[in-house]
């Protein structure tokens, strides 16, 4: 099972690497760069929810903060913000440090909550962050920061930037999955399933959650830096509630319980965004670019009604049907069940920490 999944992921990665050979310039440097970048950002949502049981809406805020920090650091006279005029690589370090520290602080603040409460709290952070960058003209203002160039290595070389996105995505994918198997990752999964039990076993539940949030914030920051190099500009509207929800939608489309689903969801989202008008009969159905959000909303609604673990879950289940596996006996593939599943699917015997199964389900929920 797991090996089939790994083969599929490896094939996908190989296709991504070879893509510039046969794909058009526009497709690679516009569509696919955006896909891989958004997938990297969305993978942090998936990581937190699949391994930690925390559905975070603050990831796009951290993504944006990294972008704003790069913008402020490299901006020169004439642009908005602090205009520090630093070397772009110094700016990268600066942006990652700021983003990670902020992730640590926000994580510390929300680490004693989980589940739906965590979702609401992080949505609040996201919207406050949007107003902050909109109103505080020291850092940006609603006009945003424009004219940001990537380091010379990537300037005017869109294919290099694409490869950077792919390489960092592969590193993040392998790294986050590997992290899930370390003692820390296993403890995190324990916290997801049985926080009370983990606390009584002597684990510091808030610290584990906070560190997971910090790691995810760091990765989101990396994606945010790629974004500003690719985009050349950033403004508060691009991190407002709409795009914030879009990133969650990407994670949901792909399947919020499977790390590779993030890139799959980003692919579907970006393709739909770019090519929807080319569909046959699109015009007669009223499917225009302007109503893109309605289509995306309907898509998410459909996924949440039919298969809450998204496309990745759907494909795994289809594979299970073909091979006759009966693992997915749970009706409807409930999201919570999907969240629990990853422990046993991904991480073999480690998934449950070797703690004996509870005889009755805990009443914490």
Partner 1 sequence: MSFAAGDSTVDDTSARRTPRSITTWVAGSLAGLATLWVVFLARGTSAGSAIREPGEFLVTLLDGITFAGLLFVVASGFTLVFGLMRTVNMAHGSLFLLSAYVAIEVQQSMVGLDRNIEAGDIGILDWVVPVLVGSLVVAVVGVIMQQLLLRWNQGQDLRQALITLAVSVILADQMLAHFGGLAQRVVWPGAVTRFFEIFGARYALSRLFMLALALVVGAALWLWLNHTRMGMVIRAGVDDQEMVRALGINIHVVFATTFFVGAFLAGVGGVMGASFAGVAPGTDGQWLLNSLIVVIVGGLGSIRGAVAGSLLYGMVVAFAPAYLPSQYTYYAIILTFVLLAVVLAIRPYGLFGKEA
- The yes or no reply on residue 143 touching partner 1 (CB under 8 A) is no
- As measured in angstroms, the least distance from the Cβ of 10 to partner 1 is 30
Does 241 bind partner 1 (CB under 8 A)? Our answer is yes
| 327 is an interface residue for partner 1 by CB under 8 A | no
* By CB under 8 A, residue 308 contacts partner 1: yes
* Residue 212 lies near partner 1 (rule: CB under 8 A): no
74 vs 114, beta carbon nearer partner 1: 114
Binder of partner 1 out of 21, 305, 322, 329 (CB under 8 A): 305
- Other CB atoms within a 10 A radius of the CB of residue 312 amount to 26
Q: How many residues bind partner 1 (CB under 8 A)?
A: 46
Residue 296 engages partner 1 in binding (rule: CB under 8 A): yes
Please identify, using beta-carbon distances, which residue of 41 and 121 lies nearer to partner 1: 121
Distance CA 53, CA 43 (A): 14
Within 8 A by CB and 6+ apart from 98, the residues are 65, 66, 69
Nearer to partner 1 (CB atom), residue 11 or residue 334:
334
Stretch that binds partner 1, among 11-19, 299-307, 311-319, 322-330 (CB under 8 A): 299-307
Binding residue (CB under 8 A) for partner 1 from 28, 45, 55, 312 = 55
Angle between helices 115-135 and 59-74 (to 10 degrees): 30
Q: Does 142 bind partner 1 (CB under 8 A)?
A: no
Letters for 103-132 (x = contact with partner 1 by CB under 8 A, - = none) are: ------xx-xx-xxx-xxx-xxx-xx--xx
Distance CA 320, CA 327 (A): 7
Q: Is 275 in the site for partner 1 (CB under 8 A)?
A: no
CB nearer to partner 1: pick between 66 and 106: 106
290 lies in the site for partner 1, by CB under 8 A: yes
Is residue 291 close enough to count as binding partner 1 by CB under 8 A?
yes
| 248 touches partner 1 (CB under 8 A) | yes
Q: For partner 1, which is the closer residue by CB, 33 or 140?
A: 140
Does 254 help bind partner 1 (rule: CB under 8 A)? no
Choose among 227, 251, 232: nearest CA to 66.
Answer: 227
Asked if 348 touches partner 1 (CB under 8 A), the answer is: no
Phi, psi for 151 (deg, rounded to 5): -55, 160
Longest dimension (CA), the chain: 66
For position 289 contacting partner 1 by CB under 8 A, the verdict is no
User: Rounded to the nearest whole angstrom, what is the least distance from the CB of residue 117 to partner 1 in the complex?
Assistant: 6
Contacts of residue 337, Cβ cutoff 8 Å, sequence gap at least 6: 330
Whichever of 77 and 116 has its CB closer to partner 1, that residue is 116
For partner 1, the binding residues (CB under 8 A) are 55, 109-110, 112-113, 115-117, 119-121, 123-125, 127-128, 131-132, 135-137, 240-242, 245, 248-249, 252, 290-294, 296-298, 300-301, 304-305, 308, 334-336, 364-365
């Amino acid at each position: 099972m797991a090996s089939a999944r790994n083969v599929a992921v490896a094939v996908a990665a190989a296709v991504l690497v070879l893509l510039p050979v046969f794909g058009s310039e526009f497709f690679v440097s516009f569509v696919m760069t955006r896909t891989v970048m958004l997938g990297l950002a969305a993978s942090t949502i998936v990581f937190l929810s699949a391994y930690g049981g925390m559905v975070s809406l603050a990831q796009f805020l951290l993504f944006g903060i990294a972008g704003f920090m790069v913008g402020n650091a490299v901006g020169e006279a004439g642009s908005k913000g602090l205009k520090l005029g630093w070397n772009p690589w110094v700016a990268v370090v600066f942006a990652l440090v700021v983003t990670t520290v902020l992730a640590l602080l926000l994580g510390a603040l929300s680490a004693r909550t989980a589940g739906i409460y965590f979702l609401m709290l992080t949505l609040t952070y996201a919207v406050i962050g949007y107003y902050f960058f909109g109103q505080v003209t020291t850092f940006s203002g609603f006009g945003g920061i424009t004219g940001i160039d990537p380091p010379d290595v990537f300037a005017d070389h869109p294919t290099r930037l694409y490869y950077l996105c792919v390489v960092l995505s592969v590193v993040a994918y392998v790294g986050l999955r590997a992290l899930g198997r370390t003692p820390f990752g296993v403890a995190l999964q324990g916290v997801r399933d049985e926080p009370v039990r983990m606390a009584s076993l002597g684990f510091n539940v808030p610290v584990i959650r906070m560190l997971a949030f910090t790691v995810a914030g760091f990765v989101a920051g990396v994606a945010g830096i790629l974004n500003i190099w690719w985009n050349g500009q950033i403004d508060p509207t691009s991190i407002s509630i709409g795009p914030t929800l879009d990133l969650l939608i990407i994670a949901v489309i792909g399947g919020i319980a499977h790390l590779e689903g993030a890139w799959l969801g980003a692919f579907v989202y970006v393709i739909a965004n770019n090519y929807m008008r080319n569909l046959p009969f699109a015009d007669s159905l009223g499917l225009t670019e302007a109503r893109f959000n309605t289509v995306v909303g309907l898509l998410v609604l459909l996924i949440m009604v039919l298969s809450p673990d998204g496309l990745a879950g759907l494909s795994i289940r289809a594979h299970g049907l073909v091979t006759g596996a009966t693992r997915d006996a749970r009706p409807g593939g409930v999201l919570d069940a999907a969240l629990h599943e990853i422990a046993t699917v991904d991480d073999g015997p480690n998934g449950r920490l070797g703690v004996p199964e509870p005889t009755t389900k805990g009443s914490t929920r």
